[in-house]
Protein backbone atom coordinates (compact mmCIF):
# COMPACT_ATOMS: atom_id res chain seq x y z
CA UNK A 1 0.00 0.00 0.00
CA UNK A 2 1.30 3.44 -0.91
CA UNK A 3 -0.08 6.95 -0.77
CA UNK A 4 -0.06 9.08 -3.91
CA UNK A 5 -0.92 12.76 -3.84
CA UNK A 6 -2.90 13.48 -7.01
CA UNK A 7 -4.49 16.86 -7.68
CA UNK A 8 -4.05 17.83 -4.04
CA UNK A 9 -5.72 14.71 -2.61
CA UNK A 10 -4.15 11.64 -1.04
CA UNK A 11 -5.03 8.29 -2.60
CA UNK A 12 -4.24 4.93 -1.04
CA UNK A 13 -3.03 2.67 -3.82
CA UNK A 14 -2.57 -1.07 -3.73
CA UNK A 15 -0.29 -1.83 -6.65
CA UNK A 16 3.16 -3.15 -7.39
CA UNK A 17 5.88 -0.49 -7.11
CA UNK A 18 6.78 -0.87 -10.79
CA UNK A 19 3.19 -0.27 -11.97
CA UNK A 20 3.08 2.65 -14.42
CA UNK A 21 1.33 5.73 -13.03
CA UNK A 22 -1.00 5.88 -16.04
CA UNK A 23 -2.68 2.60 -15.07
CA UNK A 24 -3.33 3.79 -11.53
CA UNK A 25 -4.66 7.17 -12.67
CA UNK A 26 -7.11 5.62 -15.12
CA UNK A 27 -8.05 2.34 -13.42
CA UNK A 28 -7.86 3.10 -9.70
CA UNK A 29 -8.36 6.85 -9.33
CA UNK A 30 -10.67 7.11 -12.38
CA UNK A 31 -8.94 10.13 -13.93
CA UNK A 32 -9.10 9.67 -17.67
CA UNK A 33 -7.55 12.78 -19.25
CA UNK A 34 -4.12 11.15 -19.55
CA UNK A 35 -4.40 8.74 -22.46
CA UNK A 36 -2.73 5.45 -23.31
CA UNK A 37 -1.09 6.05 -26.66
CA UNK A 38 2.02 4.00 -27.31
CA UNK A 39 2.89 2.68 -23.85
CA UNK A 40 6.55 3.39 -24.62
CA UNK A 41 6.86 7.07 -23.71
CA UNK A 42 7.09 8.10 -27.35
CA UNK A 43 3.80 9.88 -28.10
CA UNK A 44 3.10 12.14 -25.08
CA UNK A 45 -0.61 11.34 -24.77
CA UNK A 46 -0.10 10.24 -21.16
CA UNK A 47 1.71 13.38 -19.94
CA UNK A 48 0.99 14.63 -16.42
CA UNK A 49 3.00 16.88 -14.11
CA UNK A 50 5.01 15.66 -11.14
CA UNK A 51 6.24 18.43 -8.88
CA UNK A 52 5.64 20.87 -11.74
CA UNK A 53 7.56 18.93 -14.38
CA UNK A 54 5.99 17.16 -17.35
CA UNK A 55 6.42 13.37 -17.16
CA UNK A 56 5.21 10.47 -19.26
CA UNK A 57 2.93 8.52 -16.94
CA UNK A 58 3.00 5.35 -19.06
CA UNK A 59 6.68 4.77 -18.25
CA UNK A 60 6.86 6.29 -14.75
CA UNK A 61 6.66 3.65 -12.01
CA UNK A 62 4.74 4.38 -8.82
CA UNK A 63 7.80 3.82 -6.64
CA UNK A 64 9.28 7.09 -7.96
CA UNK A 65 6.21 9.13 -7.03
CA UNK A 66 5.74 8.64 -3.30
CA UNK A 67 5.88 12.02 -1.59
CA UNK A 68 5.53 13.94 -4.85
CA UNK A 69 2.67 16.11 -6.13
CA UNK A 70 1.04 14.65 -9.23
CA UNK A 71 -1.18 16.94 -11.30
CA UNK A 72 -3.44 15.75 -14.09
CA UNK A 73 -5.51 17.83 -16.47
CA UNK A 74 -8.49 17.29 -14.15
CA UNK A 75 -6.51 19.06 -11.41
CA UNK A 76 -6.02 22.28 -13.36
CA UNK A 77 -9.62 23.44 -13.67
CA UNK A 78 -13.23 22.39 -13.88
CA UNK A 79 -15.90 22.50 -16.55
CA UNK A 80 -17.32 25.62 -14.89
CA UNK A 81 -13.92 27.21 -14.17
CA UNK A 82 -11.37 25.98 -16.69
CA UNK A 83 -7.73 26.86 -16.13
CA UNK A 84 -6.21 29.37 -18.57
CA UNK A 85 -4.53 26.60 -20.58
CA UNK A 86 -7.82 24.73 -20.90
CA UNK A 87 -9.76 27.87 -21.82
CA UNK A 88 -7.14 28.91 -24.38
CA UNK A 89 -7.19 25.52 -26.11
CA UNK A 90 -10.99 25.74 -26.32
CA UNK A 91 -11.01 29.34 -27.55
CA UNK A 92 -8.39 28.60 -30.22
CA UNK A 93 -10.18 25.36 -31.17
CA UNK A 94 -6.79 23.65 -30.86
CA UNK A 95 -8.19 20.12 -30.74
CA UNK A 96 -9.40 18.12 -33.67
CA UNK A 97 -9.63 14.50 -32.55
CA UNK A 98 -8.44 15.59 -29.09
CA UNK A 99 -6.51 12.46 -28.17
CA UNK A 100 -3.13 14.17 -27.77
CA UNK A 101 -4.46 17.44 -26.36
CA UNK A 102 -4.56 16.61 -22.61
CA UNK A 103 -0.88 15.65 -22.72
CA UNK A 104 0.00 18.74 -24.72
CA UNK A 105 -1.90 20.95 -22.28
CA UNK A 106 -0.01 19.44 -19.36
CA UNK A 107 3.39 19.92 -21.02
CA UNK A 108 2.40 23.48 -22.00
CA UNK A 109 1.26 24.15 -18.42
CA UNK A 110 4.63 22.97 -17.09
CA UNK A 111 6.38 25.28 -19.58
CA UNK A 112 4.23 28.28 -18.63
CA UNK A 113 4.82 27.74 -14.93
CA UNK A 114 8.55 28.22 -15.47
CA UNK A 115 8.44 30.64 -18.44
CA UNK A 116 5.58 33.13 -18.54
CA UNK A 117 6.46 34.49 -21.98
CA UNK A 118 7.78 31.66 -24.15
CA UNK A 119 8.79 32.16 -27.77
CA UNK A 120 7.37 30.09 -30.61
CA UNK A 121 10.60 28.08 -30.62
CA UNK A 122 10.42 27.41 -26.87
CA UNK A 123 6.83 26.21 -27.19
CA UNK A 124 7.70 24.01 -30.17
CA UNK A 125 10.66 22.59 -28.30
CA UNK A 126 8.57 21.89 -25.18
CA UNK A 127 5.84 20.17 -27.21
CA UNK A 128 8.24 18.26 -29.50
CA UNK A 129 7.78 14.92 -27.66
CA UNK A 130 4.09 14.91 -28.59
CA UNK A 131 2.68 13.25 -31.67
CA UNK A 132 -0.37 14.83 -33.29
CA UNK A 133 -1.62 13.61 -36.62
CA UNK A 134 -4.54 16.00 -36.95
CA UNK A 135 -2.47 18.98 -37.98
CA UNK A 136 -3.69 21.60 -35.50
CA UNK A 137 -0.14 22.65 -34.66
CA UNK A 138 -0.62 26.35 -35.44
CA UNK A 139 -3.80 26.50 -33.33
CA UNK A 140 -1.95 24.74 -30.50
CA UNK A 141 0.84 27.31 -30.71
CA UNK A 142 -1.71 30.15 -30.60
CA UNK A 143 -3.45 28.49 -27.62
CA UNK A 144 -0.23 28.32 -25.61
CA UNK A 145 0.50 32.00 -26.32
CA UNK A 146 -3.10 32.88 -25.35
CA UNK A 147 -2.81 30.90 -22.10
CA UNK A 148 0.47 32.66 -21.31
CA UNK A 149 -1.24 36.05 -21.77
CA UNK A 150 -4.18 34.98 -19.59
CA UNK A 151 -1.85 33.75 -16.86
CA UNK A 152 0.20 36.96 -16.94
CA UNK A 153 -2.96 39.10 -16.83
CA UNK A 154 -4.34 37.07 -13.92
CA UNK A 155 -1.04 37.57 -12.10
CA UNK A 156 -1.08 41.30 -12.82
CA UNK A 157 -4.68 41.68 -11.62
CA UNK A 158 -3.63 40.48 -8.17
CA UNK A 159 -0.42 42.52 -8.01
CA UNK A 160 -0.51 45.13 -5.29
CA UNK A 161 -3.59 43.62 -3.67
CA UNK A 162 -2.18 42.31 -0.42
CA UNK A 163 -4.30 40.53 2.12
CA UNK A 164 -6.31 42.79 4.40
CA UNK A 165 -4.68 43.67 7.69
Per-residue pLDDT at 71: 98
Residues 92 and 65 placed together within one structural domain of the fold: no
Residues 51 and 106 placed together within one structural domain of the fold: no
The radius of gyration of the chain's CA atoms, rounded to the nearest angstrom, is 16
- Give this prediction's pTM: 0.89
Is residue 100 in some structural domain? yes
Per-residue pLDDT at 109: 98
Q: How far apart are CA 62 and CA 60, in angstroms?
A: 7
Per-residue pLDDT at 7: 98
Per-residue pLDDT at 131: 85
Is residue 163 in some structural domain? no
Per-residue pLDDT at 132: 84
Contacts of residue 62, Cβ cutoff 8 Å, sequence gap at least 6? 2, 4, 13, 15, 16, 17, 18, 19, 20, 21, 24
Q: Domain tally for the chain?
A: 2
Residues 111 and 135 placed together within one structural domain of the fold: yes
Q: How far apart are CA 122 and CA 119, in angstroms?
A: 5
Tens digit of pLDDT per residue, the chain (165 long)?
899 999 999 999 999 999 999 999 999 999 999 999 999 998 999 999 999 999 999 999 999 999 999 999 999 999 999 999 999 999 999 988 888 999 999 999 999 999 999 999 999 999 999 888 888 899 999 999 999 999 999 886 544 433 332
- Which of 39, 74, 109 terminates a domain? The answer is 74
Amino acid sequence: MMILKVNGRDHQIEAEPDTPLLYVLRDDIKLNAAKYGCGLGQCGACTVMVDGKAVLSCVTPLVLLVGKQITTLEGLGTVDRPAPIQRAFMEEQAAQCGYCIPGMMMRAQALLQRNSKPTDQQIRSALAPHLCRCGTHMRILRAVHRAARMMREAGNSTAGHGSPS
